[in-house]
Homo-oligomer: A and B are copies of this chain.
Amino acid sequence: MTRVYNFSAGPAVLPEPVLERAREDMLDWNGTGMSVMEMSHRGKAFVSIANQAEQDLRDLLQIPANYKVLFLQGGATGQFAAIPMNLLRGKTRVDYVNTGAWSKKAIAEAKKYADVNVVATAADSHFTTIPAFDGWQRGSDAAYLHYTPNETIGGVEFHWIPESGDVPLVADMSSNILSGPLDVSRFGLIYAGAQKNIGPAGLTLVIVRDDLLGGAMASTPSIFDYQVQAEAESMSNTPPTYAWYLAGLVFQWLKEIGGLKVMDEINRRKAEKLYKAIDNSAFYTNPVDVAARSRMNVPFTLADPELDGLFLKEAEQAGLTTLKGHRSVGGMRASIYNAMPEAGVDALVEFMVDFEQRKA
How far apart sit A82 and B40, CA to CA, in the bound complex (Å)? 25
Residues of B within 8 A of A34 (CB): 3-4, 6, 13, 321
Do A10 and B40 touch across chains, with their CB atoms under 8 A apart?
yes
**A301 touches B (CB below 8 Å):** no
B1 and A236 form a contact (CB under 8 A)? no
Q: Nearest chain-B residue to A28 (Cβ)? A: B1
Which of chain B's residues have a CB closer than 8 A to the CB of A112? 218-219
With contacts A26-B26, A241-B202, A242-B201 taken as known, whether A221 is within 8 angstroms of B81 at the C-beta atoms is yes
Interface 1/0s, chain A 210-238, versus B by CB < 8 A? Answer: 00000000110111100000000000111
Inter-chain CA distance A214–B32, complex, in Å, is 46
Query: A218 to B108, alpha carbons, bound, how many Å?
Result: 12
A22 on the B face (CB < 8 A) = yes
Using Cβ atoms and an 8 Å threshold, which residues of chain B touch A236?
77
Q: How far is the CA of A242 from the CA of B74 in the complex (A)?
A: 14
Tell me the complex Cα distance, A240–B12, Å: 13
A36 to chain B, nearest CB (A): 9
Q: Is A180 on the interface with B (CB-CB < 8 A)?
A: no
* Selected contact of A78 from candidates B26, B38, B195, B237, CB within 8 Å: B237
Closest to A43 in B: B322
What is the CB-to-nearest-CB distance from A337 to chain B, in angstroms, rounded to a whole number?
A: 11
Within 8 Å CB of A43, what residues of B?
8, 322
Q: How far is the CB of A299 from chain B (nearest CB, A)?
A: 15
Contact yes or no, B39 A8, CB < 8 A: yes
Q: Is the CB of B19 within 8 A of A201?
A: no
Find A38's partner among B12, B77, B243 (CB 8 Å cutoff).
B12
A221 and B222 in contact, given A12-B38, A34-B3 (Cβ under 8 angstroms): no
Which residues of B lie under 8 Å from residue A239 when comparing CB positions? Answer: 201-202
How far apart are A8's CB and chain B's nearest CB, in angstroms?
A: 4
Contact with B along A75-95 (1 / 0, CB 8 A): 111101110010000000000
Select which of B19, B32, B203 is within 8 A of A35 by beta carbon.
Answer: B19
Chain B residues with Cβ under 8 A from A319's Cβ?
Answer: 33
Q: Which of A50-95 contact B (CB under 8 A)?
A: 73-78, 80-82, 85
Residues of B within 8 A of A35 (CB): 14, 19
A181 partner residues in chain B, CB cutoff 8 A = none
The answer to whether A154 has its CB under 8 Å from any CB of chain B is no
